[in-house]
A and B are shown apart, each in its own frame.
Chain A
């Protein structure tokens, strides 16, 4: 579960945009546009707030925006992100400097991640060819379309279950500048039906030539992923491998330890894992920076052992 709104994105602090104070630091901060509970109750719409934001004299200099709750909280029914995509696309000429979009900074107390209704966000990539950072939260209804983008440096998809259709859109994408790829795979219970084989194009290493960070996070098949990635060509090219938030056990960790390429990384992140104390110690003595914090214990009911990813639901 995610408990807090983000405070940093694309290397910049996040500030809630308010009509009163306006845009103070268009280049140095990302501005968050979210409907508060009261605004939702008063019948305000996200698109109205966004229109007011665009009318701010400094909006044309804004470099990053964070889209928070667009009315999910105050609506009893499905409220997809499609109108938000539409509004952003329509505003393309008014946001010529926009480099970073966080789409869906909605915490679990506002809406479960798997209940966030996303939509086809591909028009954003066409409308903003200068975009460098894109993060989307929630995979239900999400589509990236046929993704060809010459500027995108980081692509992050946070979900409690990432559908194979989206994974395939990623592996079919052309993003020559991509340095940071982060997929929260989640569990099959919430639509996370991608198998290791579906990730193979990423493992081959040629897909995104500038990739420095690969995150295959929050996965229920973390062990299988660890085994596959440990000896994959992609590890030779990246600096950071992030398998955190998932259900990694000693099995997957042993595969990582056995790989000489892993020991040449700058950083290995496996925090939130289910490895034994001994295995955790071995990981930590790999000689590279390792985050093996948040060692979790499985839930046991009789003979059943349950290991949970950090963000499900």
Chain B
């Protein structure tokens, strides 16, 4: 009902504003979803223009405009601009690798290179804050509508989702099942000590601000042996250890190499949690990506993998949902969906997110692995006949 709440605006050009990368797949798919529902195309604000001040929301946002914030990813110019935007941001703890604004602007593209993710996050955080401040200057939304409707997802909550440590805490404090975490790990030595204290032999070390499988290491030790499974590659250049994401899974067994890798990741802030055993299916390990829309678990994808990393973009396969559901059992499946919905309650200002969730090998227990702010890009996956973007728009219409 709210999509048509404004008689003049409903088919007007100011209905939607998308902040994203123009020409990118996400923006294109959102426009296509609008078009399919016979809604006007969204005005697109690029991150680059927003950051340079060339564009500002008060110029575009009218009464009743809905703002959608899309991923800034897959665009090197934007990545560089966000790193530069984070150059002057104060960090409570200055131990993480930083680069000057000037140097950030001069960075050149290298495929897969992991560039200053902590500073990138600070820059993105500042950008989300800027979006929020600009919105405060815009005409108010319809006063009779909940504030949720001004945004599809609130900037503050997107920031929270991009901080794996804070997100893990938020989930945990609200009773969502998560893997136990280790806070404030700054080195491989510290990691080893803390694992020993906890009696753990397996952990995931993830960049606190990486997206999907960026900078993830599955590490295990029994005190004698060490093994790290990862997509991260290292290369030394001019005395500097550079990190790269690759599509290939590598296994390191030399603890010195593993220490170097984990120490390097720690310089960008890491989140560590226990690597809980995942259930298998069809001779693979699997987990679920569930898109929760307006409080309801909708689109689901079972991601199958031969490695501990199940992320879709690592060329992993999708499992047939019906077959997976049958194998898991109705009760466990329903519990999984409920857990995803519960996880979204941590984000009352967000309409949607992609939740990653694992089943333990007996399927009886489910654990939320991650909440992805932009985890709704699942073209070709349908729920009640709709792809994700359309389902979001329809949920707003019916909300």
Contact = CB atoms under 8 A, between A and B. Distances in A.
B283 interface: yes
B32 to A, nearest CB: 37
Interface in A1-36: 1-5, 16, 36
A72 B198 CA distance: 14
Contacts of A108: 285
B284 interface: yes
B257 interface: no
B222 A115 contact: yes
B222 A78 contact: yes
A74 B281 CA distance: 23
B306 interface: yes
B238 to A, nearest CB: 25
Contacts, number: 65
B338 interface: no
B98 interface: no
A16 B306 contact: no
A59 B309 CA distance: 40
Chain A contact patch, size range = 20 to 34
Given A1-B306, A112-B220, A115-B222, A75 B199 contact: yes
B111 interface: no
Interface stretch (B41-49, B167-175, B360-368): B360-368
B23 interface: no
Interface residues of B, number: 29
B199 A76 contact: yes
A108 B286 CA distance: 13
A115 B226 CA distance: 10
Contact of A110 (B227, B277, B306): B277
A36 B283 contact: no
A92 B150 CA distance: 70
A38 interface: yes
B276 interface: yes
A73 interface: yes
B277 A73 contact: yes
A115 B221 CA distance: 10
B225 A38 contact: no
B201 A76 contact: yes
A73 B274 CA distance: 11
B365 A76 contact: no
B277 A78 contact: no
A3 B308 CA distance: 11
A76 B280 contact: no
7 contacts: A38-B365, A75-B201, A76-B221, A76-B223, A78-B223, A108-B285, A109-B285
Interface of B: 195-196, 198-201, 220-225, 227, 276-281, 283-285, 306, 308, 360-362, 364-365
Given A4-B279, A109-B277, A110-B361, 11 more contacts: A3-B280, A5-B280, A37-B360, A37-B365, A73-B201, A73-B277, A74-B199, A76-B200, A78-B222, A107-B280, A109-B278
Interface of A: 1-5, 16, 36-38, 72-78, 107-110, 112, 115, 313
For the complex of A and B, the 9 pairs showing the least CB-CB separation, nearest first, are A3-B280, A4-B280, A109-B277, A76-B199, A110-B277, A109-B278, A77-B223, A76-B201, A3-B285
